């Protein structure tokens, strides 16, 4: 076997790459993270976290640390969707939640956690070439002190929309780019703007502006507030010209865009966030080529805001434990292939609803207005409202599981109703016995070196037992009072499929 400089090279130190570093560290792997930028980019491309990743961070025991870094209350669960705002406040526990944390602060926090867990994070180190053979992957790097070469078992491209790793691996990235530029600004509330009791705004020289989206012949304008002290403004214009992503947007540029779209000036306070972006709908044909993997924006781009960070970080959570299992030498055959199978499925689901948003927001004729009105009517009822909340949060995906006759929980993200919060904190798999089933515990005994066994009796149990993977996905579950002659063989099959051969 070859000598390795590190087990895993992560290219890109944005949220996806840093999440992968923290998850690998929790599994005992010390990755090398390389990023071409010399320091954290201060332009906050994303304003926070939302969706399933928040639940995962809570399960890991990290959510309080992220909330402290935010220092802001959780925003009301009311989110943009295709030129509308969907209000989830009527749901008791809406799956879609958010945490305000500008991307630079998020990256610094993730880097701190990753470093504490042993990651080597190098900024100003650009990967300029990648090659692989059946046993290793080699990265040629240009660093501050000159070029050098690193060998590893695996390399993961988390290097964004213009991924050099994806290009060097020859992985196709089909899709399209929409001919529009989006600009987003967060400001302190100007004294001259009045936030009305009904949520709308009185703007001097403009009059009353409705909260949410306003469409004009020149584009789309939106205004909203998380708190009475802040003002969020957004514009969307077709063919507004090229821009340099490395040049921060200015307030003057944003004012000019507002004037073009709305035909009026809107007073703005002190900026706390300014960013611009272009919408893409692209999906890598494969998330893997041999020893090279893709995650985050390198693997998928979505034509709607608020979902990319969640999708990328959940890619990392899915991949980390599988890489760690392979590096430790116990991964069953095909385990690494399930990363593409599962996360490509999740990416396709996110593309589905974000492309549906394009259809909702870009139409301006009476038919498009009717579509938006009808869509809004459907979301008055609790069932479709909950379904949409889960869809946007990314937690409605059910991964395919081996075998047949699965319990309804199999393949889903473990809900906290089964007490999972304290069980997956260590990022180890766990078999939870809710019904004091000695037969199931005995059947899992051969995997006790890899799978924790926990008994948690529950009268209101959703299943007799559940096998939970390190990424909090349920790999198997036994029905209430399911007979041993069916439950035991199916449990052993699931244990072998995900966690390799037993000790006996």
> pLDDT per residue over 450-496, tens digit each?
999 999 888 888 899 999 999 999 999 999 999 999 999 999 999 99
Domain stops at, among 367, 391, 426: 367
Mean confidence (pLDDT) of the chain? 93
Q: Is the domain of 233 the same as that of 204?
A: yes
pLDDT at residue 187 in the model: 95
What sign results for the dihedral spanned by CA atoms 375, 379, 381, 385?
A: positive
DSSP state of 413: B
Q: Is residue 409 part of a domain?
A: no
What tens digit of pLDDT does each residue of 267-308 get?
Answer: 999 998 898 989 999 999 999 999 999 999 999 999 998 899
Residue labelled with tokens 């790999």: 475
pLDDT per position as a tens digit, 336-383: 999 999 999 999 999 999 999 999 988 888 998 899 999 999 999 999
The pLDDT of residue 1 is above 60:
no
Question: Of 238, 263, 278, which residue constitutes the final position of a domain?
Answer: 278
Going from the C-alpha of 408 to that of each of 240, 400, 401, the distances in angstroms are 48, 12, 11
CATH number (domain holding residue 285): 3.50.50.60
Total structural domains in the chain?
A: 3
Is 397 inside any structural domain?
A: no
In tens, the pLDDT along 425-452 reads 888 999 999 999 999 999 999 999 999 9
Task: Note whether 163 and 292 are within 8 A (CB).
Answer: no
Pair (127, 169) in one structural domain: yes
293 and 253 within one domain: no
- The CA-atom distances, in angstroms, between 468 and each of 60, 304, 335, 404 are 14, 31, 15, 18
Task: Report yes or no on 466 lying in a domain.
Answer: yes
Contact 32, 6 (CB under 8 A): yes
Terminal CA-CA length for the chain: 28
Residues 232 and 191 sit within 8 Å (Cβ to Cβ) = no
What are the φ and ψ backbone dihedral angles of 234, each rounded to 5 degrees? -140, 140
Q: Are residues 446 and 484 in the same domain?
A: yes
Q: Tell me, yes or no, whether 135 and 115 share the same domain.
A: yes
Residues 167 and 191 in one domain: no
- Residue 256's pLDDT band (cuts 50, 70, 90): very high
Looking at the fold, whether 197 and 217 belong to one and the same domain comes out as yes
In a domain, 456, yes or no: yes
Q: Is residue 475 part of a domain?
A: yes
DSSP 331: P
pLDDT at 322 > cutoff 80 = yes
Contact of 451 with 431, CB cutoff 8 Å? yes
- pLDDT, residue 170, reads 97
Residue 396 placed within a domain: no
Please give the Cα distance from 94 to 91 (Å, whole number).
Answer: 5
pLDDT tens-digit map of 187-239: 999 999 999 988 899 999 889 999 888 888 888 899 988 788 889 999 999 86
Residues 199 and 263 in one domain: yes
Which phi and psi angles does 443 have, rounded to 5°? Answer: -65, -30
Give yes or no for a contact between 306 and 350, defined as CB atoms under 8 angstroms apart. Answer: no
Q: Are residues 18 and 132 in the same domain?
A: yes
Per-residue pLDDT band for 148 (boundaries 50, 70, 90) equals very high
Torsion of CA 271, 273, 274, 278, to 10 degrees: -160
Strand-pairing partners, residue 215, are: 220
On whether both 16 and 154 belong to a single domain, the answer is yes
Tell whether the model's pLDDT for residue 136 goes beyond 60: yes
pLDDT band at 418 (very low <50, low <70, confident <90, very high): low
Contact 36, 126 (CB under 8 A): yes
Q: Give residue 428's domain range.
A: 416-499
Judge whether 399 lies within some domain: no
Query: Among the residues of 10-128, which ranges form H helices?
Result: 15-26, 52-59, 63-70, 103-116
DSSP strand pairing (474-478 vs 78-81): unpaired
Question: What CATH number corresponds to the domain at position 428?
Answer: 3.40.30.120
Q: Indicate which CATH number applies to the domain containing 197.
A: 3.30.70.2450
The answer to whether 138 and 4 have CB atoms below 8 angstroms apart is no
Are 297 and 267 within one domain? no
Domain identity same for 119 and 131: yes
Domain boundary among the residues 256, 278, 300 is at: 278
What is the reported pLDDT for 198?
87
Residue 43's nearest CA partner among 188, 225, 247, 210 is 247
108 belongs to a structural domain: yes
Show the tokens assigned to 438: 């000695």
pLDDT band at 116 (very low <50, low <70, confident <90, very high): very high
The answer to whether 213 and 220 have CB atoms below 8 angstroms apart is yes
Q: If you compute the radius of gyration of the chain from its CA atoms, what whole number of angstroms results?
A: 24
């Amino acid at each position: 076997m070859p000598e390795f400089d590190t087990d895993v090279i992560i290219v890109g130190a944005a949220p996806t790459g840093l999440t992968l570093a923290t998850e690998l560290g929790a599994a005992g792997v010390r990755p090398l993270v390389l990023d071409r930028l010399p320091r954290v980019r201060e332009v906050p491309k994303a304003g926070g976290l939302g969706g399933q990743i928040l639940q995962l961070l809570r399960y890991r025991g990290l959510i309080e640390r992220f909330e402290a870094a935010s220092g802001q209350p959780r925003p009301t669960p009311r989110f943009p969707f295709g030129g509308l705002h969907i209000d989830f406040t009527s749901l008791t526990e809406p799956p879609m939640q958010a945490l305000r944390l500008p991307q630079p602060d998020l990256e610094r926090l993730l880097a701190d956690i990753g470093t504490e867990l042993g990651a080597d994070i190098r900024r100003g180190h650009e990967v300029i070439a990648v090659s692989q053979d059946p046993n290793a992957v080699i990265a040629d790097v240009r660093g501050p002190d000159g070029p050098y070469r690193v060998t590893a078992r695996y390399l993961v491209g988390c290097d964004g929309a213009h991924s050099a790793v994806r290009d060097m691996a020859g992985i196709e990235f089909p899709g399209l780019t929409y001919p529009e530029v989006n600009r987003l600004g967060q400001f302190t509330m100007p004294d001259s703007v009045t936030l009305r009791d009904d949520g709308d705004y009185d703007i001097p020289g403009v009059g009353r502006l409705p909260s949410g989206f306003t469409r004009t012949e020149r584009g789309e304008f939106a205004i909203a507030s998380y708190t009475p002290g802040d003002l969020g403004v957004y514009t969307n214009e077709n063919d507004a010209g090229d821009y340099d992503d490395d040049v921060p947007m200015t307030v003057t540029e944003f004012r000019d865009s507002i004037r073009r779209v709305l035909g009026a000036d809107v007073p703005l306070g002190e900026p706390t966030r300014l960013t611009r972006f272009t919408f893409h709908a692209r999906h890598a044909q494969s998330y893997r080529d041999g020893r090279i993997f893709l995650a985050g924006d390198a693997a998928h781009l979505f034509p709607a805001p608020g979902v990319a960070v969640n999708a990328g970080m959940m890619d990392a959570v899915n991949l980390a434990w599988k890489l760690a299992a392979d590096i430790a030498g116990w991964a069953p055959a095909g385990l690494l292939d399930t990363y593409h199978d599962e996360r490509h499925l999740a990416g396709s689901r996110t593309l589905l609803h974000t492309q549906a948003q394009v259809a909702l927001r870009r139409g301006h004729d009476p038919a498009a207005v009717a579509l938006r009105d009808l869509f809004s009517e459907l979301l008055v009822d609790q069932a479709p409202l909950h379904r949409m909340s889960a869809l946007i949060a990314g937690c409605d995906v059910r991964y395919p599981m081996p075998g047949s006759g699965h319990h309804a929980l199999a393949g889903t993200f473990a809900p906290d109703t089964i007490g999972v919060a304290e069980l997956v904190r260590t990022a180890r798999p766990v078999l939870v016995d809710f019904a004091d089933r000695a037969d199931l515990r005995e059947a899992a005994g051969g995997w006790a070196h890899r799978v924790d066994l926990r008994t948690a009796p529950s009268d209101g149990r959703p299943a007799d037992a559940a096998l939970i993977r390190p990424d909090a996905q349920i790999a198997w579950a036994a029905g209430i009072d399911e007979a041993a002659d069916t439950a035991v063989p199916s449990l052993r099959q699931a244990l072998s499929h995900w966690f390799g051969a037993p000790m006996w």
